[in-house]
Amino acid sequence: MTNLAEAQKISEIISAAQKIVIVQADNPDVDSLASSLALEAILEDQGKQVLLYCGVDIPSYLHYLPGWGRVVKDMPKSFDASIIIDTSSDSLLEKLGKNGAKSWLASKPVIVIDHHVTDATITFATVICNYPAVATAEIIYELANKLQWPLDKQTNELLAMGILSDSLGLMSQSTSSRSIHIIGELVEAGVNLAELESLRRETLRKDVELIHYKGELLQRVEFYGDNRVAIVSIPWEEIEEYSPHYNPSMLVIDDMRLAKGTDIAIAFKIYKDGKVTAKIRCNYGYGIADKLAEHFGGGGHPMASGFKITDGRSYEDIKSETIDLAIKLLKDIEQEKAHANL
């Protein structure tokens, strides 16, 4: 976890700054948003002016997190330091590169706080706080303890939301004993897990139209490698129509993993400009998502990751390469298990 010198460097940057922008990657999720909102509260308690940025609209399924509406898509031009949350990969900050704002970040102190341990790094960062925790919210909690940052009830709730989401309710392969202890400490501090779950479940309720669309997506799921790899493809027309209401990938990716014999589910999105993105989820014992994503320049952790490709390659070529590599990685795991049992 964060060493003392690293924590002190983070503290120095924050102490010297008055206006701080917190940056999420172009694929916000519960952990990134909850961590950003928690940091906002922590820093505002220290008298800082905090701005929240994300290059894309916050998906509707995240609107149960209090404060989501404060996140803006326009990068502020005036700030003293920035904190990049839940990514260490420069490729996931594409929107900043397109509008030229990445150079603004690089000209001021940059703190990166992330739990995805990857070779892809943000080269212009001043300090990178990157450790293999189950969630970025877990790292922020530990950092707050080390730097003696006070946490109020809502901040504790946000950190709990981030940890519970990325750990799949403390049931993911990346969940550690420390992750469980932190949730226990947050409960002792007054967090009501039942209330948080009730808020989350309310956002899972969907319009009838989305239920019908989910059925269409499930009918299009393809299986490869003796059903071990499940694939679904979402074209631009459907992204445009349904994304404002719900992320199409998230409608079906967990159901895809429930198929008998399936170890990995991959949802592709094919955009109008030729960009292809992939969301990857793995079942327990077959955590290859990070290796698969990193092959294509993306990132994540063993059970959940993603990547995007913008080099003009055809979707069919990308899909074929992804399937072949996924099958190979799954076979590698089988071989490792066989050797371990010798």
- Output the CA–CA distances (angstroms, integers) from residue 55 to 72, 184, 249, 260, in the order listed: 8, 34, 19, 38
Per-residue pLDDT of 268-292, as tens digits, reads: 999 999 999 999 999 989 999 999 9
If asked whether residues 318 and 222 sit together in one domain, one would say: yes
Report helix, strand or coil for 176: coil
Q: How many domains does the chain have?
A: 2
pLDDT at 200: 80
How does the average pLDDT of the chain come out, rounded?
A: 92
Q: How far apart are CA 242 and CA 269, in angstroms?
A: 12
pLDDT for 118 equals: 66
Range(s) of the domain holding residue 144: 4-200
- Domain's final residue, options 165, 200, 235: 200
HEC letters along 104-139: HHHCCCEEEEECCCCCCCCCCCCEEEECCCCCHHHH
pTM above 0.85, yes or no: no
pLDDT bracket for residue 342 (50, 70, 90): low
Residue at which a domain ends, from 144, 177, 200:
200
Co-location of 324 and 241 in the same domain: yes
Q: Residue 1: which pLDDT band, with cuts at 50, 70 and 90?
A: low
- Using 50, 70 and 90 to split pLDDT, how confident is the model at 2? low
pLDDT digits (tens, 9 = 90+) for 155-202: 999 999 999 988 888 988 789 999 999 999 999 999 999 999 888 887
The mean pLDDT of 195-217, rounded to a whole number, is 88
The region of weakest confidence among 31-45, 194-208, 222-236, 257-271 is 194-208
Residues 196 and 212 in one domain: no
84 contacts 122 by C-beta, under 8 angstroms? yes
Domain CATH code at residue 78: 3.90.1640.10
**What CATH number did the domain enclosing 262 receive?**
3.10.310.30
Does 191 share its domain with 229? no
The answer to whether the beta carbons of residues 155 and 163 sit under 8 Å apart is no
Task: Please compute the mean of the pLDDT values over residues 295-318 and round it to a whole number.
Answer: 90
Higher-scoring residue by pLDDT: 286, 244: 286
Boundary-marking domain end, from 170, 200, 230: 200
User: Is residue 183 located within the same domain as residue 222?
Assistant: no
Q: Say yes or no to pLDDT of 108 above 70.
A: yes
Amino acid at 16: A
Nearest alpha-carbon partner for 281 in 230, 328, 329, 206: 230
The verdict on 128 and 238 lying in the same domain is no
pLDDT at 120: 56
**Cα–Cα distance between 133 and 9 in angstroms, integer?**
20
Q: What integer is the mean pLDDT of 144-161?
A: 96
- The residue ranking higher by pLDDT, 158 or 89, is 158
212 and 329 assigned to the same domain: yes
